[in-house]
Amino acid sequence: MRLSNALLRVFTVGGVALACGACGTNHEGASSTQSGLGNDTVSCEADPRVATYTAHLDESGSHGLTFELVSADPAPPAKFGNSWVVMVKDSDGTPLTGTLGVGLNMPSHGHGTQVPPVITFDAATSTYTIDPVYLFMPGVWQITLDYYGDAGTDADPVDEASFFFCIEG
Ligand SMILES: [Cu+2]
């Protein structure tokens, strides 16, 4: 049965980095000449990479698919645990139901998250719920959605797209 197979094939790939070399060490080893670094109060809202959250935010992949952030709780995305509902659509806008992977990354810091996202697929709405989207640190986070179709996550994704958000302290 296709739908239950799809549910079973929904799992998580990537995005997990237990070793976090640069994480939380902004001030460590800073000399007096570096005292201006690591100012935790600087906002990333003006970072050109980040999106302003709205419901039904679309990001296009480079292979014709659209990844829709249907809703986020809390909204806008915030520090620590988030729950996201996403949909993957083909070029006609038809929802797709195959395997999805999620990666969480802080591109400026080179680390992922400690709590891996769990993905569940709801066949009634053709949406995937990702919970938690665990963004534990203030700054720019990249949330990458990889769509694998009927293939497993060992294959190359059919398409992928990333959402970037500024998470406030
Ligand atoms: Cu970080």
Q: Mean pLDDT in runs of 10 for the chain (169 residues)? A: 39 41 38 42 88 97 98 98 98 97 97 97 98 98 97 93 96
Q: How far is the CA of 137 from the centre of ligand 1 (A)?
A: 6
Looking at residue 53, the DSSP 8-state letter turns out to be P
Q: How far is the CA of 84 from the centre of ligand 1 (A)?
A: 20
Residue 10: Cβ within 10 Å count: 20
In this prediction, residue 82 carries a pLDDT of 98
d(CA 123, CA 49): 33
**What region, left, alpha or beta, does residue 139 occupy, with left being phi > 0 and alpha being psi -120 to 50 degrees?**
left
Q: How far is the CA of 125 from the centre of ligand 1 (A)?
A: 34
Q: Quote the pTM value.
A: 0.77
CB 132, CB 118: distance < 8 Å: yes
Q: Which residues contact 31 (CB under 8 A, 6 or more apart)?
A: none
How far is CA 73 from each of CA 60, 76, 149, 151, rounded to the nearest angstrom? 22, 7, 26, 30
Single-letter amino acid code for the residue at 67? F
Q: How far is the CA of 106 from the centre of ligand 1 (A)?
A: 5
Strand partners, 84: 72, 130
In this prediction, residue 40 carries a pLDDT of 53
How far is CA 152 from each of CA 6, 115, 133, 156, rounded to the nearest angstrom? 11, 22, 22, 9
In this prediction, residue 106 carries a pLDDT of 98
Q: How far is the CA of 159 from the centre of ligand 1 (A)?
A: 26
Q: How far is the CA of 135 from the centre of ligand 1 (A)?
A: 9
